[in-house]
Structure 1
Amino acid sequence: MNSQLQAAERFSDYYEKWMMELEDLLKILLLVSRDRHQEAGYEAMVNKFTAHHKDFYMIKWALAEEDVLAFFNPIWLSPLENAYMWITGWKPSMAFRLIETLSNAAERQCGGSLRGMTEEQGKKMEALRVKIGVEEERVEREMERQQVSVADRKMVELVKLEIQAKKRGGEEAVEKVNGMVEAALKGMLAGLERVMKMADCARLKTLKGVLEVLSPRQCVDFLAAMSMLQIQTRKWGLKKESLVMQF
């Protein structure tokens, strides 16, 4: 229990610093985006952003080995942020809705947020959207399978055995059943960790795929919008949470 608490607290501290670094990166990104002749600058900032996100998942996966449940009930997120979570993170298809919104804004403003999307880029983005949609469905099916497994025959039998062993009061029998329950729980936690990593991989594939389709300048616009959305959602969530706690 203590190690589980430590894992959650350690990631909570890390996440706070990670978000602060994201805000700093966003400020630099917005400055770079104002200069339309800084192609090398765009690529450098995109690389910094991708490295920042890769570090997030490396730390997340390392601590999930200690306590995967912490990521399904994150103490570092506000209720608002939790409400928009999809299997411990953002839903990959959200990226395509964001691109669509930015593209529409660009058309209305004659060169706004996501500039110069070509027909070829549109086709590639649609193909990626379909591919990621299949990934999402696969992750959701696996998550459903994990949820259903809690009520499968084996788990129900273990519950019955545990109740019977406690009624009889035999320490040896109780210990034996407890060992079986512990083994079953380990299997369930391993399944949840697998689903979490599947979802994270879908997120990383989405990010990688989108950045490969967009030009460096478009990547900067997309990453800026995505980061602002994440930062603002957090700020709104924390503000709402603080207001609720005052009453």
Structure 2
Amino acid sequence: MAASSSDRSHYRCCFDTWLTVQRQDLEELLHGAASYPDDPKKLHALVEKNVQHFEEYRENRSMLAQQDAPAFLCLAWCNTLENSLLWIGGCRPSLAIRLVYSLCGSELDARLDQYLSGERKGTISEVSGTQLNQINSLHMKILREEERLTSRMASLQEDIVDEPLASIAKELSHVGEPSETADKVLEGHALTLGRMLLEADNLRLSTLKRLVEILTTLQAVDLLASSKKLHLSLHEWGKRWNRGRSPDQGEERGGIGEVGGLLIKGERGRASEGGRGRSLERGGI
């Protein structure tokens, strides 16, 4: 069943609500890491809350994708930079692991003198050899799963030029004229895309869960905060990229704010998003 414009507004609202949750979670993670870094119980509660939020977002997307799965493979509510980075409706699960490697290297370089003097803070740069082996094993496993899903997606795309669509298109009197058979084939295609989106989201979630199991609670908080800052920063950078190259598109992407989960167009929305962008530039929300 094709989605209506009202349905698609719900899709956009789902994404905007997710961004709001991301910002709120980031505030709590940064506060927790600064205020009680030696309280694993409180930090663990923060980590669990963040994982739960991702599970809820996955469930919401899964329900909405039943109506129009292709909409979640090319996200009209994201900017072009974000869309260029998509893998089956989101980020590659392995990027979370690559982020761990990146943070380990950058933080170790920045704190090398402190590290050599024996000072420890328990952050992600201090992963142990055992942890690193577990992360490497997880990385290899996730790469294999990504390759499997990527191969399935390629096959699904190739099916478009197979029967019966190729013959239907060839025999049409007018390009794009209605065809019940074509509609049924495309409905089946969309349902398969929806199942693949759910598999990809499940892989993203399972990767995150396994990573936070391997890391200490403080390291997990460090990773979650860093990933959210990167995600939100890319969102803001992408909007500025669009505005600098396509004024009309920039207004559309940047002129929508969210208040209480509702979409609001106009100056108030632009001011709201602009304020968040400046806050990100200062290194916090």
So what's the TM-score if we normalise by structure 2?
0.77
Q: Where does residue 67 of structure 1 map in the other structure?
A: 68
> Shift in Å at residue 154 of structure 1?
2.7
> Shift in Å at residue 39 of structure 1?
1.0
How many angstroms apart in 1 are the aligned matches of 2:81 and 2:90?
13
How many angstroms apart in 1 are the aligned matches of 2:85 and 2:164?
33
Q: Where does residue 43 of structure 2 map in the other structure?
A: 42
How many angstroms apart in 1 are the aligned matches of 2:97 and 2:218?
17
Give a deviation string over 1:111-167, Cα, whole Å, max 9, x none: 575143111111111111111011000100000000100011332122234x16x79
Q: 5+ residue gaps in structure 2?
A: 249-285
Bigger shift: residues 196-205 or 95-104: 196-205
Shift of the 2–184 alpha-carbon distance from structure 1 to 2, 3 Å rule, reads closer
CA contact (8 A) 2:26 2:228 kept: yes
How many angstroms apart in 2 are the aligned matches of 1:246 and 1:145?
37
Shift of the 244–160 alpha-carbon distance from structure 1 to 2, 3 Å rule, reads closer
CA contact (8 A) 2:134 2:214 kept: yes
Q: Where does residue 195 of structure 1 map in the other structure?
A: 196
Q: 5+ residue gaps in structure 1?
A: 168-173
Among candidates 123, 127, 134, match of residue 133 of structure 2: 123
Aligned pairs, how many?
A: 237
Give a deviation string over 1:179-232, Cα, whole Å, max 9, x none: 222221112112211221221122112111111111111100010111010010
> Shift in Å at residue 92 of structure 1?
1.1
How many angstroms apart in 1 are the aligned matches of 2:83 and 2:74?
8
How many angstroms apart in 1 are the aligned matches of 2:27 and 2:137?
32
CA contact (8 A) 1:8 1:74 kept: no
CA contact (8 A) 2:2 2:68 kept: no
Shift of the 2–190 alpha-carbon distance from structure 1 to 2, 3 Å rule, reads closer
How many angstroms apart in 2 are the aligned matches of 1:212 and 1:18?
24
How many angstroms apart in 2 are the aligned matches of 1:105 and 1:117?
13
Q: SS in structure 1 opposite 2:126?
A: coil
Give a deviation string over 1:34-86, Cα, whole Å, max 9, x none: 23222111101101111111111111111100111211221210111111111
Q: Where does residue 171 of structure 1 map in the other structure?
A: none
Q: Which amino acid aligns with 2:98?
A: R
Bigger shift: residues 14-23 or 61-70: 14-23
CA contact (8 A) 2:100 2:223 kept: yes
Shift of the 245–153 alpha-carbon distance from structure 1 to 2, 3 Å rule, reads closer
Structure ranking higher in helix proportion: 1
Q: Which amino acid aligns with 2:150?
A: E
How many angstroms apart in 2 are the aligned matches of 1:16 and 1:240?
19
> Shift in Å at residue 87 of structure 1?
1.3
Q: SS in structure 1 opposite 2:124?
A: coil
> Shift in Å at residue 2 of structure 1?
7.7
How many angstroms apart in 1 are the aligned matches of 2:143 and 2:51?
22
Q: Where does residue 234 of structure 2 map in the other structure?
A: 233
Q: Where does residue 261 of structure 2 map in the other structure?
A: none
Q: SS in structure 2 opposite 1:66?
A: helix
What are the within-5 Å matches in structure 2 for residues 149-228 of structure 1?
A: 149-161=159-171, 163=172, 178-228=179-229
CA contact (8 A) 1:72 1:88 kept: yes
Q: Percent identity?
A: 25
